[in-house]
Amino acid sequence: MKFRIHELGKRIRCLHAHRMFDTARYDGRMPYRRCGDSGILLPAISLGFWHNFGAVDDFEEARRIMRRAFDRGVTHFDLANNYGPPFGSAEENVGRILVSDFVCHRDELFISTKAGHDMWNGPYGKNGSRKHLLASLDQSLKRLRLDYVDVFYSHCPDPDTRLEETMSALATAVQSGRALYAGLSKYPLKRLKKAVKILQDMGVRCLIYQPPYSILQREYEADGILDWLQDEGIGCIAFSPLAQGMLTPKYFDGIPEDSRAAKPEGFLQADQVIAQQEKIRALGLLAEAHDTSLHHLAIRWVLRSQQVTSALIGVRNVAQLDDTLDALHAPAPDDALLDAINAIAPAKL
Ligand SMILES: NC(=O)c1ccc[n+]([C@@H]2O[C@H](COP(=O)([O-])OP(=O)(O)OC[C@H]3O[C@@H](n4cnc5c(N)ncnc54)[C@H](OP(=O)(O)O)[C@@H]3O)[C@@H](O)[C@H]2O)c1
């Protein structure tokens, strides 16, 4: 009886939810790109929940952002155990929204989470041990109110833990059904190659790699990682393609009060912005000369590369989401523009 009431409630919510979303969301305005040589297609632009979805943020705006993103064809949402603040609260908020608004759309969504950075106190609350990764994944599933995630990442390399141990946790996550695929983030090339091989030997493929990649951060390109991923058939999702907002017009003349760089809990510090300001202004002028905005150019630049499956953005509100997704209507940079960008911000280690 309890089950039937639960099922009935779910069906009523489904009927309601179907009316909530744009039925034209897969009409071609959002391109989907193949993730390496896997069967998975990801939206050209995916949405991350690092900032602006924690308990300190506006829950209703977070909900509007998720709904609007889905309406515009963004099917991939990226999380980590410690997104907030406080740690875990982004997953909790997303879990609430998944239940209230997406209960009938789980199979249309591709949801990732990660473990490895600081999460809870004590010796098992971070790093690359099997204990940390699997306990963290179980916690994430509870907060997200999901039976499984689509990708479980090792969030960062841990030089003090044998790669075999960390990879065995990813393999168990997949083989136990808690995750459909494994992913790696921020591993340098040598360690990445070893990790992928160990996973393969355990019968699990690395689906996707997540590096920071933008006009202002090109060391993973210079290092040859993007080329290697393509040769191996591993997808690549480029995080912070707007360099945390530096590749938008907001920092041309200083640090606006409401920006990430002005927030004490943010990961972007004012001195980082100031150090890049000359380049940012030069890139802004270049974008203007080509009748586009700096952030549209920045997204199109990341997506120019066939090695990149998806640009993984963050947004603070629906207006920013709409604005950034509109980059998909902007022209791809031609060779002359790419050369001019290289002259300002070359790829180097
Ligand atoms: N694997 C990892 O270690 C790792 C690390 C970092 C991030 N990530 C993933 O990557 C995702 C994206 O990172 P990110 O938030 O740094 O990405 P980003 O897209 O480079 O920067 C997002 C920020 O840029 C500003 N912005 C966005 N659109 C704008 C617009 N149209 N106009 C003006 N400003 C705009 C907003 O900052 P303001 O608040 O200043 O307006 C926004 O929060 C994260 O959520 C996470 O999923 C992964």
Task: Indicate the pLDDT class of residue 264, thresholds 50, 70 and 90.
Answer: confident
- Give tens-digit pLDDT for 286-332: 999 999 999 999 999 999 999 999 999 999 999 999 999 999 999 99
Mean of pLDDT over the chain: 95
Nearest-CA residue for ligand 1 atom 17 is: 240
Residue 2 pLDDT > 60 = no
250 CB near ligand 1 (under 6 Å): yes
| pLDDT value at residue 13 | 65
| pLDDT value at residue 34 | 98
Rounded Cα distance between 16 and 227, Å, is: 45
| pLDDT value at residue 47 | 99
Task: Indicate the pLDDT class of residue 17, thresholds 50, 70 and 90.
Answer: low
Task: Indicate the pLDDT class of residue 266, thresholds 50, 70 and 90.
Answer: confident
Nearest-CA residue for ligand 1 atom 29 is: 320
Task: Indicate the pLDDT class of residue 214, thresholds 50, 70 and 90.
Answer: very high
DSSP for 12-70? Answer: HHHHHHHHHS-TTTTSSSS-EEE-TTSS-EEESEEEE-SSS-STTS-HHHHHHHHHHHH
| pLDDT value at residue 50 | 97
Rounded Cα distance between 76 and 45, Å, is: 8
| pLDDT value at residue 107 | 98
- Give tens-digit pLDDT for 45-67: 999 999 999 999 999 999 999 99
Question: What superfamily in CATH does domain 2-344 come from?
Answer: NADP-dependent oxidoreductase domain (3.20.20.100)
Rounded Cα distance between 69 and 60, Å, is: 14
Four-point Cα dihedral 260, 266, 267, 271, nearest 10: 60
Of 328, 329, 216, 347, nearest in space to 283 by CA: 216
- In ligand 1, which atom is closest to the CA atom of 314? 15
245 CB near ligand 1 (under 6 Å): yes
Task: Indicate the pLDDT class of residue 9, thresholds 50, 70 and 90.
Answer: low
pTM over 0.85: yes
| pLDDT value at residue 19 | 63
**Overall average pLDDT of the 93-112 stretch:** 97
- Give tens-digit pLDDT for 157-202: 999 999 999 999 999 999 999 999 999 999 999 999 999 999 999 9
**Overall average pLDDT of the 213-232 stretch:** 97
71 CB near ligand 1 (under 6 Å): no
- Using omega within 30 degrees of 0 as the cis cutoff, is the peptide bond preceding 86 cis? yes
- φ, ψ for residue 39 (rounded to 5)? -85, 0
234 CB near ligand 1 (under 6 Å): no
Residues in the chain: 349
Q: Which of 46, 50, 258 maximizes ligand 1 atoms within 8 Å of its Cβ, making it the mutation to test the pocket?
A: 50
> Domain spans of the chain?
2-344
Sign of CA dihedral 157, 74, 249, 317: negative
Beta-bridged to residue 154, according to DSSP, are 115, 184
Task: Indicate the pLDDT class of residue 349, thresholds 50, 70 and 90.
Answer: confident
| pLDDT value at residue 5 | 59
